[in-house]
A and B are shown apart, each in its own frame.
Chain A
Amino acid sequence: MEKKYTISIYTENSVGLLNRVSAIFQRRHINIESITSSASEIEKVSRFVIVVSLSEEAVKKVVGQIEKQIEVIKAFYHTDEETIFQESALYKVASKSLFEERHIQNIIKNSHANIVTVNTEFFVIEKTGFRHETEQLYSDLAPYGLLQFVRSGRISVTKSPMNIKALLTRLND
């Protein structure tokens, strides 16, 4: 049975690694729903967060192939229930809407979104939350004309500890 899984990968900071990791998915025709790469809680260690819909058996095999890469320190997979996750979205709207349409101010307030910047031509709203929340805001704002919209990949932390620090201390010895 397919389910949404978040794969977290701790890696050395290496140029070619993204290629290696994405090739693992490509070869198996697995669609990556979102991917982010950033620093992690450990200095010089990067963290990928990849979201896929797969059976648990398939996700296990993929994680095995990922861990096999030389520069991967450790990879985990988790269900939505096991993680705290968010996405961020930015919405660029023409400024005249903000001033002429009273309703839009209510939308912003009710959705707990922030106005990041305002000038005479446009303003930018930022919303962080679950997918359905950023999507809701999208459909609420769409009638007023979105000049631009962008959403980040999922970022996520697990409820249970990852213990990468301990693992690295062991590996460093």
Chain B
Amino acid sequence: MTSKKNITGSEALIHCLLEEGVDLIYGYPGGAIMPFYDELYKFQDKLQHVLTRHEQGATHAAQGFARVSGKVGVCVATSGPGATNLVTGIADAMIDSTPMVCITGQVPSHLLGSDAFQETDIIGISTPVTKWNYQITDVTEIPEIMAKAFYIARSGRPGPVLVDITKDAQFASFDFNYTPCTGVRSYKPVPKIKTTSIDAAAALIEKAEKPLIVWGQGVILGKAEAEFKAFVEQSNIPAAWTILGVSAIATDHPLNVGMVGMHGNYGPNMLTNDCDVLIAIGMRFDDRVTGNLESYAKQAKIIHLEIDPAEINKNVHADVAVLGDVKQTLPLLTEKVTAKPYTNWFAAFKKHDEIEFEKVIKNDLHPTKEGLTMGEVLKEINRASNNDAVIVSDVGQHQMIACRYARFSNSKSNITSGGLGTMGFALPAAIGAKMGAPEREVVAIIGDGGFQMTIQELGTIFQTQAAVKVVVLNNDFLGMVRQWQQLFFDKRYASTEMVNPDFVKIAEGYFLDAKRVTTREDLGSAIDEMMASDKPYFLEVCVEKEDNVFPMIPSGASVSEIRLS
């Protein structure tokens, strides 16, 4: 327990952060949070504050930091517009289960409810998108609430927590005592494991002839990569990933059969409707994964390993629910399974892979046409980074291409906005990712549309010199929407064509090294040059304007109605 006599609420907040092991926060100052910033000034050597150029950027940076490091990301904003600017990032963190603590300043408590200058009801606004939130009006509550905030954000299924602190509580003084939170009586972060569920799961797996594993981010959030790998190898079951699960085991692992979902691989999607036992591990059967639920894996028995009881039977009925932290449940299950060859089953995956290669991958990665494809850019990045970069993607076609083709050797390497699909996520998230894993190469893959949603964070990159590599795949279109318009709206390209500025000049305006590539001959060397740089670097690659991402499960269709063209 740490104690300090007679300190202000603001100073107390800083001690809370230090006690929780935080040494880096993202934020933006303003009236109602000024006492805190004033204290921050005095603690600069212990607690680094990164000034983003917009509060949304602060949330995404905190998310990027959290996702690569497994630690809680922290961001700070003032009341009113500062607080409302956080909402998108909080919602994103909520749906992608990212541990984050947001601190917002609030008008003095005597003005609450008076429509005071920059007063918004951020507790009301953020309630549906936070795991927990709380407004502090009494300085003495600060240590307990902050301890609780961190505990809730990181425990169980992680998520964002918002703490709103009135200005008077920041100014007031009290005697500070800090004890970390170890439990909240009404909150059970990890459900108790039922050994009968493990037995039932093992029995189903034992009888299976065509089992399929689909794993999600739960494996990474549970820090259970080793346990997961052991389970996959011990059982010899083909394993497919969701967009947030990828990188928990290496892309090159022989049992890794690729991605499920709307733009996932042909084999795992088609064979979802052919498997006899589907083992879902730390994933939540999102509609982008399942397509039409009426025709999703109806022939299969479903085993669902999950930490959040509310996910069981939410979208897909589980024949066996294995509640618990996968770090604990997986080893129990591994003990009880034995490898079988599944020869014909693996052959089915191979057959589908060959079809997908012929119809899609070949043209994406080894194009014969003149224009550059997004896929070949990813291929070059894989080559230049030895399949070991952290890839931070934005939202759209480039995101799907990045997730399909980026190759990973280490966990926590694919940072993308999965559940919310937030354009503008990648640039600030990459800043956070670089700061959370400074030793790693961080490459942001961003579309020309999404880049302009948080483009101002180039300023943060310049100021901090965070050595992120920013690649904009420019197709002069809101490409993913254009693709839907082409396929489902008779090519009526309503408001998807972009007249873009000179991105290289903009990057240069922020004093960043910047380059544009338009031809295949220049691509490899440009990427080598970017990777060789130990500074931030901006690369615009002008790609084919009207390429489409395939395979594709049209929205509302069954996984087995996946289209290859």
Contact = CB atoms under 8 A, between A and B. Distances in A.
Contact of A73 (B123, B133, B186): B186
B127 interface: yes
A64 B310 contact: yes
B488 interface: no
Contacts of A73: 185-186
A106 interface: no
Contacts of B312: 64
Nearest to A45: B186
B116 to A, nearest CB: 19
Contact of A171 (B131, B185, B309): B185
Interface in A41-94: 60-61, 64-65, 67-68, 70-73
Contacts, number: 44
Contacts of B310: 61, 64-65, 67-68
Interface string B126-146: 011001111000000000000
A12 interface: yes
Given A70-B184, A71-B186, A171-B186, A19 B124 contact: yes
B308 A70 contact: no
A77 B315 CA distance: 20
Nearest to B132: A70
Given A23-B128, A70-B152, A61 B185 contact: no
A16 B314 contact: no
B123 A61 contact: no
A146 interface: no
A73 B152 CA distance: 15
B313 interface: yes
A139 B536 CA distance: 77
Contacts of A107: none
Contacts of B308: 68
A11 interface: yes
Contact of B131 (A19, A23, A70): A70
A20 B310 CA distance: 16
Interface in A1-43: 11-12, 16, 19-20, 23, 27
Nearest to B131: A70
A160 interface: no
A96 B423 CA distance: 69
B132 A172 contact: no
A168 interface: yes
Contact of B314 (A64, A67, A168): A64
A16 B187 CA distance: 16
A47 to B, nearest CB: 13
Interface in A156-173: 168, 171-172
A73 to B, nearest CB: 4
A67 B309 CA distance: 9
Nearest to A172: B185
Contacts of B313: 60-61
A19 B134 CA distance: 13
Interface of B: 123-124, 127-128, 131-134, 152, 184-187, 308-310, 312-314
21 contacts: A12-B186, A16-B127, A19-B124, A20-B128, A23-B128, A61-B313, A61-B314, A64-B310, A64-B312, A64-B314, A67-B309, A68-B308, A68-B310, A70-B132, A70-B186, A71-B187, A72-B186, A73-B185, A73-B186, A171-B186, A172-B185
Given A11-B186, A64-B312, 7 more contacts: A19-B124, A20-B127, A20-B128, A23-B128, A64-B309, A68-B308, A168-B185
